[in-house]
Amino acid sequence: MPSAYPWEYVWCLSFIPIIFSLLSFPKNKLKYLNYAYYSQFLFGILPCMIGLGGQLPELLEYVNDMEGSNTPTFKGIFPMVIIWYIFFAVALQIHGFSMYFSHNLAAAWAPVKRD
């Protein structure tokens, strides 16, 4: 089994925003929701973007020379770099939507400023 990339260890901490979100619900605690928003970026989006950039040379090598590249494959058929990019597409959408909805919820919970 290959060793994990460093960004994978950080991405494994992407459950932390869920805990902050759940803690914010009982009394509409905006502070915890903001923690969830920023930790979603730190532990979800950022590691995926680092992994995306780290896999880019391997993807370009595979795209330029599909038969001659030494890209690892899944069961000898499907290149792992394509599977990684499918994962990145799904993970970035999930984390992005989570940040979007956290932002909208924080805006709804924020006190109204009156002049």
**pLDDT < 70 stretches in the chain:** 1
Q: What is the pLDDT of residue 9?
A: 95
Residue type, 44: G
pTM of the model: 0.85
Digit-coded pLDDT (tens) for 74-87 = 787 888 889 999 99
Domain ranges of the chain: 6-109
How high is the pLDDT of residue 20?
A: 96
Predicted local distance difference test score (pLDDT) of residue 79: 87
Rounded to the nearest 10 degrees, what angle do helices 30-40 and 16-24 cross at?
160
At 93 the pLDDT is 97
Residue 14 pLDDT = 94
Q: Which amino acid is at 39?
A: S
Q: Which element (helix H / strand E) includes 46?
A: helix 46-64
